[in-house]
Structure 1
Amino acid sequence: MTTQDLHRPLLDSLTFASARAQAEALAAGRVSAVHLLEHVLERINRFDNDINAVVARNDEGARAAAREADAALARGERRPLLGVPITVKESFDVAGFVTSSGNPDFANNVVAQDSLAVAALRGAGAVIVGKSNVPLALADLQSYNLIYGVSNNPWDLARTPGGSSGGSAAALAAGYVALELGTDIGGSIRIPAHFNGVYGHKPTAGLVAMRGTSVPSGRLVDRDLSVAGPLARTASDLELALDLLLNLEPLAAKAWKATLPPARHANLKDFRVLVIDQWPGSARSLHEALVVERVVERLRTQGVKVTRPSELPAGLLPDLTLSRRVYRSLLGSSLATPPALSKAAQKRLETLAPDDHSADAAWLRAPTLRHSDWLKDNEIRVSLRHQWEHLFEAFDVVVTPVAPLPAFRHNHSEPKDARTYPIRFEDGTREVRFLDLFHWAGLPVLPGLPATSFPVGLDDEGLPVSAQAVGPYLEDRTTIAFAALLEEVYGGFIAPPGYETDLAAGA
């Protein structure tokens, strides 16, 4: 019997534990970083041929880091993640690894130093196991590319784990690691978290330094709207990671730092909650109804005051239709070199009426948006942020779905903007366009608000489902605390069938 076998019961108990719990076990000497890492590598070797979540590894480098962590622990050092194994999204620079964002043009782009965010987690003692899969150019709700292949959802291998942080969420759900690092511009943290039944936090815009992410390498300017943030299996780990990711920009640190206000409430019953489950002009899907009604039932059982949009005074809720148009405009104009429109999209662009101010028209015009028009949209963005701030005088969080559907079956048809997805409504199943899957994901992105995706159980097909809590600007602790309080009462992450440890399975 090997030493690893002797530690098997304890290691099994830590498989789906939080990063905090793993760090505590390491600090208490109940397990070594080396043994915990070997357990992680065993699980990746066992399951990842099917899931394909962790697509780049340096096992010997990770083993060396684990040995260093054990030596530091033996010396009495204590850091928040000392010896805890983690993986990070492929688009983050990790010294010695390729950063490609799934683009074959950058398949040999080996980087020399960590991104600021990765360096912060490594500085906190984390052992970097490897990098998790992404879609080409991070531009899909699925995670597949010509370099690393297709990632699958551990809940159903025929379904996607989401994108662009799809490999990240799958690695958490499969019990590889307890903490991941992702990015979000169109739900790329929150939608994969929803599809896999884990937690994800999109921070307030500008809080987490983005330097050292994506390609080409060496950029100093962050992409507009995009943020970096954590994914985890518990809400408390989101806050642990967020604290480590703050105040990393060296130039800003010379003069100021962010000190986030505490959560507004410590008790669930004190939260004032607005729930929205139907986007203006769209029918409510059965999935949207399920998610929000489940949250509403739980909140009311706990004595929480819940309000619907129909109960608001006129003008208090920001204009969601305007928000979506401006979001599509700024999102589409946020790339220095945007991808070419499909032939069908180009034809639609050529026939647009000058007075067409729809969200579709904004998306089509975005790649060639005049700077003067961008400035007008930016003014609307900031105005909407102030309108949300006014709403948050009356409410603490706004709860919405994350997406109109759970994890869907793989669909790699081209062009991407012509794809449709089956969504169930009260009157039957309809095919919904790819572009119409982002209403809820985009809602907090445009005004730069924090949003926490949190699991609320399974649907009638046995797939995980989640809601999101959107909060006031710079009040990230409030949305995370709200998710944590619900988790405390109702539970949160559920391990997918077949991935439980031998101990949990009763073997």
Structure 2
Amino acid sequence: MPLDLPFQSAKQLAAAVRKKKIGCLELLDLYLKRVETHNPKLNAVIATDIEGARERAKMADAAVAAGGKLGPLHGVPMTIKESFDVAGLPTTWGDPAFRNSLAERNALLAQRMVDAGVTLFGKTNVPLNLADWQSYNEVYGSTNNPWDLSRTPGGSSGGSGAALAAGLTGIEAGSDIGASIRNPAHYCGVWGHKPTWNVVCPQGHTLGGNVAYGDIGVVGPLARSAADLEIAMDVVAGPDAIDARGWKLGLPRSKKKKLADFKVAVLLSDPNAEVDHTVQAEIQKLADFLGTKGATVSDAARPAIDTAELNDVYIRLLRAATSARLSDEAYRQAVADAASLAPDDMSYFAQMQRGNSLSHRTWLQLNEKRHRMRLAWDAFFRDWDLMLCPVAVTAAFPHDQQGLRHKRTIVVNNKHLPVVDQIFWAGYSCVTWLPATAAPIGQSPEGLPIGVQIVGPQYGDYSTIAFAKLLEKDYRGFVPPPGYN
């Protein structure tokens, strides 16, 4: 049964515009009306330029009428994560100190999407400094999950995931250093792609005028269809103007046309981050299905990596990558904490403070370990096409905004465990720069979305997306949350 228009993919929306089944302004107004109706309870879209967007939509309609060449996303209404610069709108990362910091120009990813034809009309909510699996801050308040308003939509691209799932926008983009694309996709029942590191330029995804590109973190698309991820990657991937003087991107296309062509390994849980049985069950169902379709499936194949070491390297490099934004006082406290910790203390707090105060010498040592693991992954992918694993340890959890994040807990298999444990599943692919696509595959007993993380070899972005497209076709397509028709 075809989806209602607001829930169709960006590819379908662009096709409707090209075929003149709907006008660009008409389509924009449809989504603006839905934002007016549904956003008050979700608080996903937190800043808009309606007047400017309507003028751009009128220009897009004129282009259709003129019969000229149209971009692949012509006329598709789009919102984007608040952390990207959009000319004339504030970029705050949820920090009140930047409440009035209006961007002068679009981030490179945003501009490339505009050049592909989207009608960019607003921005979506994030947590403070993009540092939570919830999306709330003092500037814009809290965003709710459209499947259950009492639960988080994920983070840090939580507004992106919620807006897509509820049919408030046609396509989205986010950033990911700790599952910030993959986690909201999993919690909200949409698709998200974390590209290979440095494949999509993050220019304009910074705070306070910073211009350097950081370690581990990436920017990439979220959508209601895996096909949209592919279109968006075609649009946004590639170097900035300076790097383009010296190199061009040539991501290989997948040659596999059916699920039976794939050799996949499946990982359901790990001692570093126990996964709830409800999530494991959905991934196992998928693995069983793949077997019936003729795919080669292994529950034992693994890269030759100590996952405890991987987790330690990831957390310390992650915290080092984000440590520049610490205040001098917070940095001094991290140095003091790290010096006082017992060497065998491997708690998240200990690893976090060691990372926040990392010396360059230690960073180099950790980077050497990272590259050895990168080689181990590459050896693994000579025999296997993909690794399927969890995105997070549970489906979306209830809002919990009290106290420090590393002291909060979530219920996993009837036990209260630290919420930060699940950062392992972010780093499993992230620290070694691998691409990973999050795709919805089922629901929890409470009716909440559950996704799978499809990890591929470095620069294998189109392979993970191709597999997600086949899952969408043969296993599970987009399912809208109830109550948003």
> Which of the five TM-score ranges fits, normalised by the shorter chain?
over 0.9
Deviation at 1:300, TM superposition (A): 1.3
Cα deviations by residue, 1:278-305 (Å, 9 ceiling, x for unpaired): 2135544213322321211221121111
**Structure 2 CA distance, aligned partners of 1:275 and 1:264?**
21
**Mapped partners of 2:332, 2:398: distance in 1:** 25
In the superposition, relative to structure 1, how do residues 45 and 23 fare at CA in structure 2: closer, same or farther (>3 Å)?
A: same
1:348 is displaced (CA, Å) by 6.3
- Aligned residue in 2 for 1:442: 427
Is 2:170 aligned against 1:182? no
Q: Where in structure 2 are the equivalents of 1:17-32 lying within 5 Å? A: 17-32=8-23
Q: Please, which of 281, 286, 296 is the counterpart of residue 305 of structure 1?
A: 296
What secondary structure, in the 3-state scheme, does the structure 2 residue paired with 1:333 have? helix
In the alignment, does 2:90 pair up with 1:105? no
Q: Kindly report which structure 2 residues correspond to 1:46-65, keeping only aligned pairs within 5 A, or say none.
A: 46-65=37-56
Which residue of the partner structure matches residue 304 of structure 2? 317
The answer to whether the 8 A contact 1:326-1:359 is kept is no
CA-CA distance at 1:360 after TM superposition: 5.2
2:252 equivalent among 258, 261, 276: 261
Q: 1:76 aligns with which of 61, 67, 84?
A: 67
In structure 2, what is the Cα distance between the partners aligned to 1:342 and 1:407? 32
- The answer for the alignment partner of 1:361 in structure 2 is 350
**Residues in 1 aligned to 2:350 and 2:381: alpha-carbon distance in whole angstroms:** 31
Relative to structure 1, is the Cα distance of residues 351 and 85 closer, same or farther in structure 2, using a 3 angstrom cutoff?
same
1:7 alignment partner in structure 2 = none
* Cα deviation, residue 13, structure 1: 3.5
Aligned AA for 1:327? Y
Contact 2:348 2:406 in 1 (8 A): no
> Identity over aligned residues, as a percent?
42
Q: Which amino acid aligns with 2:221?
A: P
1:263-320 deviations in Å (ceiling 9; x for gaps): 14111101000001121355442133223212112211211111012x66xxx43221
What is the distance in 2 between the residues matched to 1:146 and 1:441?
Answer: 26
CA shift digits 1:454-473 (9 cap, x unpaired): 00121110001001100000
In the TM superposition, 1:103-142 aligns within 5 A as 103-142=95-134
Aligned equivalent of 1:196: 188
Whether 1:66 aligns to 2:57 is yes
Counterpart of 1:337?
A: 325
Amino acid aligned to 1:138 = L
Contact 1:291–1:401 (CA under 8 A) maintained in structure 2: no
Query: Could you tell me which residue of structure 2 aligns to residue 484 of structure 1?
Result: 469
Mapped partners of 1:495, 1:204: distance in 2 = 29
Quote how far apart the aligned CAs of 1:75 are.
1.3
| Displacement of 1:357 | 6.2
What is the deviation of 1:434? 2.3
| Kept in 1: contact 2:393–2:422 (CA 8 A) | yes
Residue 143 (1) aligns with residue 135 (2): yes
Determine the C-alpha separation between the residues in 2 that align with 1:281 and 1:34. 50
Range 227-236 or range 262-271, more displaced: 262-271
SS in 1 for 2:417: strand
Q: How does 1:380-419 map to 2 (within 5 A)?
A: 380-419=369-408
State the secondary structure of the residue aligned to 2:350: helix
TM alignment of 1:225-264, pairs within 5 A: 225-264=216-255
Partner secondary structure for residue 175 of structure 2: strand
Corresponding residue number in structure 2 for 1:292: 283
**Residue matched to 1:326:** 313
For residues 22 and 288 of structure 1, what CA distance do their matches in structure 2 show?
A: 32
Query: How far off is 1:374 after superposition?
Result: 0.2
Distance 1:414 1:343, change over 3 A: farther
CA shift in 2, pair 1:108/1:286, >3 Å: same
**Retained in 1: the 8 A contact 2:272–2:307?**
no
CA 1:346–1:494: 2 relative to 1, 3 Å: farther
Cα deviation code 1:208-244 (max 9, x no counterpart): 1111113112x22112111000000100100100111
In the alignment, the residues of structure 1 paired with residue 276 and residue 483 of structure 2 have an alpha-carbon distance, to the nearest angstrom, of 30
The one-letter code sitting in structure 2 at the alignment partner of 1:462 is G
The structure-2 alpha-carbon separation of the partners of 1:285 and 1:348, relative to structure 1 and needing over 3 Å to count, comes to farther
Q: 1:177 to 1:356 in 2, by over 3 A?
A: same
Match of 1:497 in 2: 482
2:152 to 160, 178, 191: 160
- Superposition CA RMSD, Å: 2.0
Aligned residue type for 1:195: Y
Alpha-carbon distance between aligned partners in 2 of 1:355 and 1:152, rounded to the nearest angstrom: 39
Structure 1 residue 474, shift from structure 2 partner:
0.4
TM-superposition CA deviations, 1:72-124 (whole Å, max 9, x none): 11112311111110000000000110011110000000011001110100111
Gaps of 5+ in 1: 1-9, 501-507
Q: Equivalent residue of 2:325, what SS?
A: coil
Q: Is contact 1:278–1:288 with CA below 8 Å preserved after alignment?
A: no
Q: Does the CA contact (< 8 Å) of 2:273 and 2:424 recur in 1? A: no
Residues 347, 408 of structure 1: CA spacing in aligned structure 2 closer, same or farther, 3 A cutoff? farther
Q: Secondary structure at the match of 2:149?
A: coil
TM-score, structure 2 as length reference: 0.95
Alignment of 1:265-280 (within 5 A): 265-280=256-271
- Structure 1 residue 352: Cα displacement: 1.8
Count of equivalent residues? 481
SS at 1:318 equivalent: coil
SS in 2 for 1:456: strand
Residue among 360, 370, 378 paired with 2:359? 370
| Secondary structure at the counterpart of residue 410 of structure 2 | strand
Shift of the 165–422 alpha-carbon distance from structure 1 to 2, 3 Å rule, reads same
Counterpart Cα distance in 1 of 2:5 and 2:340: 58
Q: CA deviation at 1:382?
A: 1.4
Tell me if structure 1 keeps the 8 A contact 2:86–2:106: yes
> 1:479-506: CA deviations, max 9, x gaps?
0001110111122220000012xxxxxx
CA gap 1:317/1:360 in 2 versus in 1, 3 angstroms: farther
Give the aligned residue type for 2:146: P
- Go from structure 1 to structure 2 and tell me whether the alpha carbon gap of 1:349 and 1:119 turns closer, same or farther (over 3 Å shift): same
